[in-house]
Structure 1
Amino acid sequence: MFIIILLLFMFILLVYNYYVHHGKNGRLINLLPGPPGIPIFGNALQFNTSLEEVWNIICRFTNDYSIFKIWISFIPIVSTHQPDDLETILSSTKHIEKSLMYDMFHPWLNTGLLTSTGAKWQTRRKMLTPAFHFNILNHFVDVLIKEGNCMTKSLNDVGEAVVKDLLPFINEHTLNVICETAMGISLQELGEFQKLYRSAVHDMSELLLYRSFRPWFHNDFLFSLSPQGRKQKEVLKILHGFTEKVIADRKLYHERTNGRHLKNLESEKEKDDNEVFGIKKKRLAMLDLLIAVSRDGLLTNLDIREEVDTFMFEGHDTTAMGIMFALLLLAEHKDIQEGVRVEIDNVMQENEGKLTMKSLQNLPYLERCLKETLRLYPSVFMILRKTAEDVKLQSYVVPSGTNIHLNILGVHRDPKFWPNPEVFDPDRFLPEKIKNRHPYSYIPFSAGPRNCIGQRFGLLEMKAVVAPLIHNFYLEPVDYLKDVKFQASIIIRPSHPVHMRFIPRGK
């Protein structure tokens, strides 16, 4: 009896497989080139391997095809890294829905700014954009500079030549930055909790990728029964517990100050730093916007948490990766490092040894180095969207409802737009070289209506962290980038610890 049921089940799957591949949409998808798959499973079994090998597979397909399709069971994914295609999708106000993979984020981020779509996304985007206005960044720049100086001090306290495991070292400080600026709270009192949070972000990233390439785990119930599903439940307790603590602390601050600072969100009349009920008045942050709106009954506690979860993750992990790769590249390119150092020394000298917003804006060579870093190692190396209607990409028609993989890393290293693409050359971003380049051949912060809301914040933070490190230390490589192995993740991520040597300057 069991064999009969199994055979019947297989027969139904094969019939459905035929229907999917020979229906209108399936026929259009299968006109695209791509690696061969097998019935029912498609290419899913190729990705049933380590995350390091998944990364290698994606890179291999990128090198082999400018546009290709894969099937994860009955789900087609079309990948492209041609700038014209990227522009077609990203510049459109129609193709703004995130793909199926982002559904895996919902237990963690629910439907915050990253994962929402339609009217909800438009409302939240409009609500949160003022939190990243240039005037607000100017208000927060001292926090960025302070955190860069804290990193310098922690290295100086060790003395001699310090070898650091870069990512956790940088992550600790970028998490401090996003909490003090966007959330308005300090992490100094949270101790081990913030270490648990950073570790949980990494664990959750791995679980999301693991689940995405295994279609049998796309079902929430089946996934919850697996060991990975049980692990995700524990990881979510840490992630949500941390952000709920952040929200509770900020709400408590406003309760103790009778909410009077929320009334100044638009006027920004706070000018002193007096203490109220023993609590220092703090800058008005993104979280304050959410709390103020919630007091009018327009947001629930869950609404606030999903945005805090989104920005806590996106605001610290992505920036930390950018800073790490910038330091590694500068360590390996001594001449470029020295050019950056001379520029920073000159600016510091003009400002009595201090950094300011004005001085950070007056570092064009460092900025070119950071832009070139994000070309070679874009923190967000891919974007996934779902087509809202049939769309032409290159010479193929991709049907409505198809998951589109927009390969940012692929276009950033395409030799048609970037001669010698593997070479670190900040002069690629000189004004005369930018002028005639395809606008969608460089999109480290995405582009179009769903571009990164915090891109100016991120670049400013990278400058504020890298500048004092270069000013105070000579950077020397311990692990070379040619030897760094990567793993598939939500953002670009090395699969092992990466180290570097900091040698104090004899000034």
Structure 2
Amino acid sequence: MFITILLLSMFILLVYYYYVHYGRNGRLLNLVPGPSAVPILGNATQFNVSVEELWKLVIITLSDKYYPIFKVWSCFTYCTCIRHPDDLETILSSTKHIQKGYLYNLLHSWLGTGLLTSTGAKWHARRKILTPAFHFNILNQFIDILIKEGDYMTESLKDVGGTVVKDLIPFITKHTLNAICETAMGVSLQKFGKFEQQYRNAVHDLIELVVYRMCRPWYYNNLLFSLSPQGRKQKKILKILHGFTEKVIAERKLYHERTNYRYLDNLENDKETEINDVEVFGIKKKRLAMLDLLIAVSRDHFLSDLDIREEVDTFMFEGHDTTAMGITFALLLLAEHKDIQERVRIEVENAMQESGGKLTMKSLQNLPYLERCLKETLRLYPSVFFILRNVEEDVKLNSYVIPTGTMLFLNIYGVHRDPNFWSNPEVFDPDRFLPERIQNRHPYSYLPFSAGPRNCIGQRFGLLELKSMIAPLIHNFYLEPLDHLKDIRLKADIIIRPSHPVHIKFIPIIRK
């Protein structure tokens, strides 16, 4: 009996294998070039390497060898990798191919199906609801938080005294997490003592677990993963993350109920409304948070507490790690390019003098050279260096038809360094983004915030945060490199990330 079942299972497996690889879809995908593969396992064995080697293999080696498109597969799943701007435009500008790749499902345990991971009608509804949260007048309220956190970061270096050497990533991440926590939820992690580090560790550990699962297809199954030691660890981490968010939501909703929603009613009529004496966990607030905006719209759009939690957690995930990496690489680049660093410093000093010696929304908007530096940083080191999409129906790219059901890997890092669209692509040159030099550039050759209907809703917020954190550092310190970019090893991850600590020397500027 056992042998019969085994033989039957093998027969079904072979029939399905033949159907997937030699049916219509398989025949179309077999036309796409790619590395040689073995039966059943496909290219899986080639990807069983370190995260550093995996980065080099997928993002650079295979992408260059089979430019501009290649395919890989494992078992019954195909993935096609693209980096030509025309192909990227075909996908990203489409309203049909907006479903994220299935690997984003690994984030569902934390983020549910919020704006990042949802699709279809739910995504359209959430996008419409959340867009006003990034209205200019709303961002104008958040800017005080960003500037304050940038000042905290600078003061923490000053408090040490003298020249300071910092391990950049944990140092910066602490402050970007504080900033997004206060803008998203209206509470500062700094007020929570030991819990601040516990929450920060929980965010870091959960992201590591997601990457761990991405590299182990057998753990894509939720039940199997839940039985593993890593699955049990994730359950404990989620208790911390969800527990904190749920508590803040409950406290905030209770406050609005007790004040008869008068601040939220005002919000709907006046985007510049401020809350006076809002108290959450004993902390008085004088401004709205994104959470308040979600509570406001929840009355008309029937968002449950779980719906609100999905979006707040999504803000927390997307809003701190990406900006931390953007700041990290910007500081590393400025440290290595002293002439550019000094030009930024002069611009910041002039802008601050015009605003009474401090940073404001107006002064941050008056930093065009720093903004060009940040755009060039995000070209060389895009925080989101790839995007995964599922093909919802057959799509014709430049050279091949990609059939329904295929997963697409959009190589943002690759197109940003494509010599066909960027002269001297490895060189850090902020003036690439002068108005006269971007006029004739392919609009899909630069995608640090994606593009099309699913572009990043928070890109203006992100650039403001980068400026708010970097400007005070440049104003108060000379940056000296210790770890040079040519020696930094990147690794396969959810966002771009060095595989080892990176350091910078901060030398105080003495002004008379």
TM-score, normalised relative to structure 2:
0.94
Instruction: Say yes or no: does 1:361 pair with 2:362.
Output: no
* Whole-angstrom distance in 2 between the partners of 1:467 and 1:256: 41
User: Is 2:75 the counterpart of 1:77?
Assistant: no
Say whether the 8 Å CA contact 1:17–1:74 is kept in structure 2.
yes
Q: Provide the residue aligned with 2:166 in structure 1.
A: 164
State the percentage of identical aligned residues. Answer: 73
RMSD: 2.0
The whole-number CA distance in structure 2 between the counterparts of 1:454 and 1:271 is 21
Given candidates 309, 325, 330, the residue that maps to 1:326 is 330
Query: Is the contact made by 1:17 and 1:39 (CA closer than 8 Å) also made in structure 2?
Result: no
Which of the residues 429, 435, 439 maps onto 1:435? 439
More divergent stretch after superposition (426-435 vs 11-20): 11-20
Q: Deviations over 1:387-446 (max 9, x none)?
A: 121111121000112111111001001011111111111111111110110000001000
Say whether the 8 Å CA contact 2:129–2:297 is kept in structure 1.
no
Name the structure 1 match of 2:64: 63
Is 1:344 the counterpart of 2:344? The answer is: no
Task: Please state whether the residue corresponding to 1:32 is helix, strand or coil.
Answer: coil
Higher mean displacement: 289-298 or 385-394: 289-298
**Residues 204-248 of structure 1, C-alpha deviations (whole Å, 9 max, x = no match):** 333323323433322222222233322322332233223223323
Q: Does 1:179 align with 2:175?
A: no
2:266 aligns with: 264
3-state DSSP of counterpart to 1:486: coil
Please report how far the alpha carbon of residue 353 of structure 1 lies from its aligned counterpart in structure 2 after TM superposition. Answer: 1.2
Give the corresponding residue for 1:499. 503
- Equivalent residue of 2:191, what SS? coil
- Answering whether residue 448 of structure 2 is matched by residue 444 of structure 1, we say yes
Counterpart of 1:391, as a letter, is V
Paired residue for 1:224?
Answer: 226
Tell me if structure 2 keeps the 8 A contact 1:128–1:286: no
**Which residue number corresponds to residue 292 of structure 1?**
296
In the other structure, the counterpart of 2:29 is 29
Q: Which has the higher mean CA deviation after the structures are superposed, 266-275 or 385-394?
A: 266-275
**What amino acid maps onto 1:40 in structure 2?**
I
Q: Is 1:477 matched up with 2:478?
A: no
Equivalent position of 2:47 in the other structure: 47
Please say if residues 274 and 286 of structure 2, whose CA atoms lie closer than 8 Å, have aligned partners that are also in contact: no
In structure 1, the residue matched to 2:198 is: 196
Shift in alpha-carbon separation, 1:266–1:421, aligned structure 2, 3 A: same
Distance in 1 between residues matched to 2:273 and 2:224, nearest whole Å: 55
Structure 1 partner of 2:110? 108
CA distance in 2, matches of 1:251, 1:164: 40
Does the Cα contact within 8 Å between 1:330 and 1:475 map onto a contact in 2? Answer: yes
Q: Which residue pairs with 1:96 in the alignment? A: 98
Alignment partner of 1:160: what SS?
A: coil
Amino acid in structure 2 at the alignment position of 1:54: L
How far apart, CA to CA, are the structure 2 residues paired with 1:336 and 1:232?
43
What residue in structure 2 maps to residue 141 of structure 1?
143
Query: 1:135 Cα deviation (Å)?
Result: 1.4
* Amino acid corresponding to residue 37 of structure 2 in structure 1: G
Conservation of the 8 A alpha-carbon contact between 1:264 and 1:270: no
Cα deviation for residue 384 of structure 1 reads 0.7
Secondary structure (helix, strand or coil) at the match of 2:190 reads coil
384-393 vs 252-261, which moves further: 252-261
> Alpha-carbon deviation of 1:281?
4.3
1:383 aligns with 2:387: yes
Per-residue deviation, 1:294: 3.4
**Contact 1:13–1:40, Cα closer than 8 Å, also in 2:** no
Kept in 1, the 8 Å contact 2:275–2:287? The answer is no
Following superposition, the deviation at residue 31 of structure 1 comes to: 0.7
Q: How far apart, in 2, do the equivalents of 1:240 and 1:248 lie?
A: 12
What stretches of structure 2 of length at least 5 have no aligned partner? none
Looking at structure 1, the residues matched to 162 and 335 of structure 2 have their Cα atoms a distance apart, in angstroms, of 17
Partner residue in 2 for 1:205: 207
Structure 1, 33-42 or 295-304: larger mean CA deviation: 295-304
Gaps of 5+ in 1: none
C-alpha change, 1:211 and 1:270, in structure 2 (3 Å) is closer
CA contact under 8 A between 1:273 and 1:280: conserved in structure 2?
A: no
Distance 1:191 1:73, change over 3 A: farther
State how far apart, in whole Å, the 2-side matches of 1:472 and 1:215 are.
Answer: 48
Q: Residues 97 and 352 (structure 1 numbering): CA distance in 2 closer, same or farther, change over 3 Å?
A: same
Closer, same or farther in 2 for the Cα pair 1:236/1:417, shift >3 Å?
same
Report the secondary structure of 1:375's partner residue: helix
Task: Mark the CA change 1:271 to 1:91 in structure 2 (over 3 Å): closer, same or farther.
Answer: closer
Once the two structures are overlaid, the 10-residue window that deviates more, 344-353 or 248-257, is 248-257
Pairwise CA distance, 1:270: 7.0
Which range is displaced more, 307-316 or 37-46?
37-46
Q: Distance in 1 between matches of 2:30 and 2:271?
A: 60
Secondary structure, counterpart of 1:70 in structure 2: strand
**More deviation, 480-489/372-381:** 480-489
Structure 2 counterpart of 1:121, which letter?
A: W
The question of 1:415 aligning with 2:416 is answered no
Number of residues of Structure 1 aligned to a counterpart in Structure 2: 507
